[in-house]
Amino acid sequence: MFQLLEKDVGQYDDTIEVFWATGACMFVRADLYHEYGGLDGDFFAHMEEIDFCWRLKNEGFKIMYCPAVKVFHVGGGTLPKQSPRKTYLNFRNNFSLLYKNLPKNRLFKTFLARLFLDGLAGLKFLLQGGFQDLTAVIEAHLYFYSNLGKLKKKREKLKQGSVSKIYQKNIAYEHYLHGKNKFSDLDKNRFS
């Protein structure tokens, strides 16, 4: 989580249902991929596989983790980790992802929390001298607001609902305020 890599000591050796699969090693039947719209071309490089998996989950499908498969993925091949463009895409695509897929009763609460957390992230960037990253966060917000009509049309075509295996707390809060640095540190009872 948050640039920290967790050492593999066998803690993820069970075949289980998960919320999403990384595009670096995701297998999906071609008929389902095409029927449910595949990857959203408006995302580019970040979170498009989460969006796709979420859409499948909203349609009642399961996403499974298969620990027997080994995949070696060179992260940051598209954009370097410290790129303001990467910051922009992460913030922008996360807004789109949440708006398209969250159930209606979670939208306001989630976006209110996001405004607060994005403000904190912007402040962190500012204090660390990351002016380009701060600008990227602002530009991501501007993109979201200026494309709200387009996103609303996409949202209206999709089924939103309560899906399984989504973490019901805020990972940023857990990381920064409670020191949770690994996925295995999270309360497994908070996945529903």
Q: Which residues of the chain have pLDDT under 50?
A: none
Q: Is 6 inside any structural domain?
A: no
Which pTM was predicted? 0.85
In this predicted structure, what is the pLDDT of residue 76? 63
Q: Is 4 inside any structural domain?
A: no
What whole-number distance in Å separates Cα of residue 39 and Cα of residue 27?
Answer: 13
**What pLDDT digit, counting tens, does each position of 82-137 carry?**
889 999 999 999 999 999 999 898 899 999 988 998 999 999 999 999 999 999 99
Q: Is 47 inside any structural domain?
A: yes
In this predicted structure, what is the pLDDT of residue 56? 94
Q: Is 167 inside any structural domain?
A: yes
Q: Is 62 inside any structural domain?
A: yes
Host domain of residue 177: 16-190
**What pLDDT digit, counting tens, does each position of 113-125 carry?**
889 989 999 999 9
What whole-number distance in Å separates Cα of residue 104 and Cα of residue 108?
Answer: 8
What whole-number distance in Å separates Cα of residue 7 and Cα of residue 54?
Answer: 27
How many structural domains are present in the chain?
1
Q: Is 3 inside any structural domain?
A: no
